[in-house]
Amino acid sequence: MAMLEGKVALVTGAGRGIGRGIAMLMAEHGAKVVVNDLGGDAAGEGQDVGPGQEVVDAIKAAGGEAVLNTDSVADWDAAHGMVQQALDTFGQIDAVVNNAGILRDRIFHKMSEEEWDAVINVHLKGCFNVARAAATPFRAQSSGAYVHMTSTSGIVGNFGQVNYGAAKLGIFALSKCIALDMSRYRVRSNCISPFAWSRLIGTIPTNTPEEEARVEKIKQMTPEKIAPMAAYLCSDAAEDVTGQVFGVRFNEIFLFGHPRPVRSVQRGEGWTPETIAEHAIPAMRPSFAELERSGDVFSWDPV
């Protein structure tokens, strides 16, 4: 039997790229899918039913079941409507894949409030909205799986993405806390940090030969490479996997650690600014984190 036979999944941002790959593979493995996609551009502007409808049609043509939703995850009522649509159409909901996203990249000292709010609203608030909407039926049935997309732009860091990085690291924490709060109801919550070519990644500048070479390497990592991990995490085979963060990069899978103390110092009489400068910082400096970005940490070619 297919790993997701009998499951109903809501996949946000499923009209293109990673979301499309996930929706298609989950349907292939037996899931009935609510395909959510606003149909906006990479910056979240505009609306088009075409991409989402194409995915629904492709799933149906392959013998699967799917329905289209074109609402925004950033809207609380709309997010609840997506979950209700799954219940009304298919009678249940078993999995939520929070994939919808936009980019408004800008160097920090030039970023506007609107650019900050737009990205936080879609990524972080959107994840909360949809996850919260599904929490009620998940709790009632004592089962369910969340998969949220995070990013090394937040876990490690990147240039020009303080809004995106903050949202994505927030999703890391959101998922962990959901896993804790919902564990008593046998509901799981995990993250995937995907490395894949998509139209969002297509906004990376290519002004130098080094940047051009980097983008060419990224193009090898097709969105479909992410889908198997998402499908697995939504299946019963992952019933004991929760609170984790996985990276998927071409044919590589990573398990990310969670921040923990790496060094400590103590002074019986307490600290002053002077003794911190003289004692604490010199003792801890060898363990300082480097000022790195994602490309520095994942510096080898995709495998």
Within a domain: 186: yes
pLDDT at 201: 60
Q: Is 185 in the active site?
A: no
Within a domain: 244: yes
CA 69, 170, 241, 28 torsion: positive or negative?
Answer: positive
Length of the chain: 303
From its phi and psi, is residue 34 left (phi > 0), alpha (psi between -120 and 50) or beta?
beta
pLDDT at 139: 98
The position carrying tokens 């990224």 is 218
- In whole angstroms, what is the distance from residue 113 CA to residue 54 CA? 34
pLDDT at 1: 66
* Residue 100: both structure tokens together: 């919808």
Neighbours of 287 (CB within 10 A): 10
Name the active-site residue from 146, 164, 185, 232: 164
Per-residue buried b or exposed e for 251-266, using 16+ beta carbons within 10 Å of the residue's own CB: eeeeeeeeeeeeeeee
Within a domain: 292: no
Helix pair angle (17-28, 50-61), 10° resolution: 20
Residue stretches of the chain with pLDDT short of 50: none
Contacts of 109 (CB under 8 A, 6+ apart): none
Within a domain: 286: no
Within a domain: 239: yes
Domain count, the chain: 1
Contacts of 117 (CB under 8 A, 6+ apart): none
Q: Cβ(243)–Cβ(179) under 8 Å? A: yes
Tell whether pTM > 0.75.
yes
Q: For residue 23, what is the domain's CATH number?
A: 3.40.50.720
pLDDT at 300: 82
Find the radius of gyration of the CA atoms of the chain.
21
- What is the residue range of 144's domain? 8-258
